[in-house]
Amino acid sequence: MESSSILFEDKPREECGIFGIYGDASPRKITDCVYHGLYSLQHRGQESCGMAVNNEGEISVHKDLGRVSDVFDRKTIDGLGNGQIAIGHVRYGTTGANVRLNAQPLTVNHIKGSMALAHNGNLTNHGELRNRLELSGSIFQTTSDTEVIAYIITRERLSKTSIEEAVSAAMDHIAGAYSLLIMSPRKLMAVRDPFGFRPLCIGRLGDAWIFASESCALDGIGAEFVRDVEPGEIAVVDHEGLRSIRTHCGTQTVSHCVFEYIYFSRPDSVLDGVSVHTARQRAGAFLALEHPVQADVVIGVPDSGLDAALGYARQSGIPYGMGFIKNKYIGRTFIEPGQLNRENLVRIKLNPIAATVAGKRVVLIDDSIVRGTTSARIVKTLRDAGAGEVHMRVSAPPFINPCYYGTDISSRENLVAANNTVEETARIIGVDSLGYLSTGSVFMLNDRPVGGFCAACFTGKYPSPPAGAGRPDEREHAAGPEAEPQAVPPGCPL
C-alpha cells in the first residue's frame, strides 16, 4: 500500500539539509540561528531533525522524529546551551530506516576528543565500507551511511595530527554524494564531495560564519551570502577565521544534481551561481518551444511547477492562471490512505479553482512524473472541475533510471516513463497530450556555463557508477537521441 506521503507527493525525495554556525552572532543566540536555519530547510527533510551545540568542548545534542516545530520548543533550545559552535540537520532518509537512532547530527566520542557530524547525500560504497568495518570489530548503532563516515574519520584521526587531516584522508575512502558539517571541540568544517552533487554554501552574520545546504537558509536568519563551498573543498573555521583545504578539488568532473534545480531546492535559493527560480522559468520556456499547444490557460502544480508554468506562459503567450489552492496545513501523518478514497486525498491537499479551468483548454505544468499515480489523480480533479482539455507538460525529461546519490529512487520498476512510451503514459494519467523537457535543454537551465550537471536519472550516464549498484543496462541505458546537450532553442528569451 502507498504511504500517505507518496499519495500526496509521488515525487523523488532528497535526503536532508544541513546548517552550521561558528562564532558570535550577537544579539542572537546561535541555537536560535540554527533553529531558524533548519526551518528554512524543512522542505529538504521532514522525517527527523536535530541540533548539536559545542559548549566549551562538551557537545549537547537533541534530536527526534518529526519536523522542526515538533522536535524543538523554547525550553529544549535553551537547554542546549549557547556555545560558539552548533550544527543542525533535517532528514528524509534514503539509506537507513526512519527511526530515532538514524536522526542526526551523529555524535562520536573517541580517545582524541569528540565530534558531531551532519550529512546530506548518499555513499555509493556504503555497503562495502560497512562490511569491512564490521569485520574489523566496529559495532554500528544505526543503519545510516553517516555512521560509516564517522567511523572512517575517527579511524583516520587516530593517526593524524588534526581533524581536518583526518577528514581529508577519509575522503580518499568514501565515494558518492556527501555534503558534510563536522564539529570538533574547537573547529567547524564544511565538506563537499569532489563531484559537488549536493549544494553547500558559506555565509556571514556579524562575526559568525555560517554553512548551509541552500542560500535561502542564510536569508532566513539575515546572513550575507559569501560563496559556495567548492566541489572537493574542506572549509575550516576556528578562532583564526576561515581557511580552505583544496586537495580534492578538481579531481572529478563537476556534476551538480540537476534535480536540485528542477524540484528539490526552494525557488528563492541560488545554487552554485544559478537562481533556482530562473532555472525553472527557463525550463518552462524551453517546454513551450519544444511542445507548443493551442490552449486557453497555463497552470502549475504547486509548488515547484509554478515557476515553470510562468516561463511557459511568457514564452507561449498563453495566459497564466492560478489553477490550484494548496492546503498548507496538512502534516505528513494527516490521514491513513484507507480512510478516504485516493482522489479525495488529492483534493484535500490540492483543490482546483473551477473559475480558472472550467470550459478551458488547460496546459498543466509539473516538475516530474515518477510513478504517475498522483498525476492521474490531479488530472481527474481538473476534469471534474470542468476542464475541456488537459495538456500536460513536464519541466524535466522522463525519469527512467535509479539514483545512487541521495534521491529516493532505487529501481526502474515503479518509474512509469521507464516502462511506457510517452503516448502510453499520457493514456495512463488521462491527458490529451504529454510533453517532457528534452535532455539537451536540461544542460542549459543556467544562462551561463557554471559546470556540469548530473542527469543520470534521465540519461543513465552516471558520473561515478557504484560497483554492483543496479544492472549494467540500468547504468548504461541512455535517454535516446536527446541524451547529449543540444543548442539553445531559437527564440528563448530567458
The CA distance from 403 to 429, in Å, is: 24
**Which residues are CB-neighbours of 106 under 8 A, at least 6 positions away?**
116, 117, 118, 119, 142, 144, 146, 147, 150
The CA distance from 202 to 27, in Å, is: 20
- Catalytic pick among 16, 33, 216, 454: 16
Q: Which whole-number Å values give the CA distances from 18 to 28, 138, 150, 176, in the listed order?
A: 19, 26, 16, 17
**Which residues are CB-neighbours of 187 under 8 A, at least 6 positions away?**
22, 85, 163, 164, 236, 237, 238
Grid cell at residue 433? 497530450
Q: Cβ distance 174 to 125 under 8 Å? A: yes
**3-state secondary structure string across the chain:** CCCHHHHHHCCCCECEEEEEEECCCCCCCHHHHHHHHHHHCHHHCCCEEEEEEEECCEEEEEEEECCHHHHCCHHHHHHCCCCCEEEEEEECCCCCCCCHHHCCCEEEEECCEEEEEEEEEEECCHHHHHHHHHHCCCCCCCCCHHHHHHHHHHHHHCCCCCHHHHHHHHCCCCCEEEEEEEECCCCEEEEECCCCCCCCEEEEECCEEEEECCHHHHHHCCCEEEEECCCCCEEEEECCEEEEECCCCCCCCCCEECHHHHHHCCCCCEECCEEHHHHHHHHHHHHHHHCCCCCCEEEECCCCHHHHHHHHHHHHCCCECCCEEECCCCCCCCCCHHHCCHHHHHHHHEEECHHHHECCEEEEEECCCCCCHHHHHHHHHHHHCCECEEEEEECCCCCCCCCCCCECCCCCCCCHHHHCCHHHHHHHHCCCEEEECCHHHHCCCCCCCCCCEECHHHHCCCCCCCCCCCCHHHHHCCCHHHCCCCCCCCCCCC
Q: Cβ distance 31 to 84 under 8 Å? A: no
**To 5 degrees, how large is the angle CA 66–CA 71–CA 74?**
155
Active site residue 16: yes
The CA distance from 378 to 414, in Å, is: 19
Q: Which residues are catalytic?
A: 16
